Amino acid sequence: MREVTGNFENTSKEFAELQAEISGLREDLSLIPPFNQWRLFNKRLHFFSSTKQTWTEAQKFCASMNSQLVVIHSTTEQEYIQQNTNREHWIGLHDTAEEGTWRWVDGTDYASNVKFWARGQPNGDENQDEDCVVTEEGFWHDWPCSSKHPPICEKLAE
């Protein structure tokens, strides 16, 4: 009988140690963004943030995760982004250096790349500069860079 009791006590102690180890691992994991927030599409990982930020803050946020604001290269990528968003999100397109000269954050050639401007966009605004771009419902809109929207970050899947 003593042998069975000893085994039970050892098993209970080992179980308690495992539970403590699992709790510690969960704490460690809470310090990094959960992987399930990154979504794989076409050999790139996309992070759809829910935190509203200015365009400059959004750039810094993406950079802090070794990524950049999303650059849209195809119709299928724009459709994928549309399927994963339900409101405006910043993308990596702007004309901050020169009004009307649109540039992608990674240097992709704007002139030869796909475009998904909403009807009447980009339209600027007489009262404020609209130098940064959001995507909403599958189309792009120019917005003031100081307005706040959540970003979409992307990086190569490794």
**CATH code, 132:** 3.10.100.10
d(CA 51, CA 72): 21
Residue position matching structure tokens 């959540």: 150
Q: Are 135 and 78 in contact (CB under 8 A)?
A: yes
Range of the domain at 74: 36-156
Query: Using CA atoms in the order 50, 52, 54, 60, what is the torsion angle rounded to 10 degrees?
Result: -40
pLDDT of residue 27: 59
The answer to pTM > 0.85 is no
Q: Domain check: are 130 and 58 in the same one?
A: yes
Q: Domain check: are 22 and 50 in the same one?
A: no
pLDDT of residue 18: 74
Q: Domain check: are 48 and 1 in the same one?
A: no
Q: Domain check: are 123 and 69 in the same one?
A: yes
Per-residue pLDDT of the chain (158 residues; tens, 9 = 90+): 445 555 667 777 787 787 777 776 665 554 454 445 899 999 999 999 999 999 999 999 999 999 999 999 999 999 999 999 989 999 999 999 998 999 999 999 999 999 999 999 998 776 778 999 999 999 999 999 999 999 999 999 97
Q: Domain check: are 28 and 76 in the same one?
A: no
Q: Domain check: are 24 and 43 in the same one?
A: no
pLDDT of residue 35: 47
pLDDT of residue 129: 86
d(CA 101, CA 49): 27
State the burial class of residue 155 (Cβ atoms within 10 Å of its Cβ: 0-12, 13-18, 19+).
Answer: middle
Q: Domain check: are 89 and 136 in the same one?
A: yes
Q: Domain check: are 8 and 59 in the same one?
A: no
Q: Domain check: are 76 and 17 in the same one?
A: no
**Structural domain total, the chain:** 2
d(CA 92, CA 79): 16
Q: Domain check: are 117 and 51 in the same one?
A: yes
Q: Domain check: are 65 and 80 in the same one?
A: yes
Residue position matching structure tokens 């970050």: 153
Q: Domain check: are 20 and 83 in the same one?
A: no
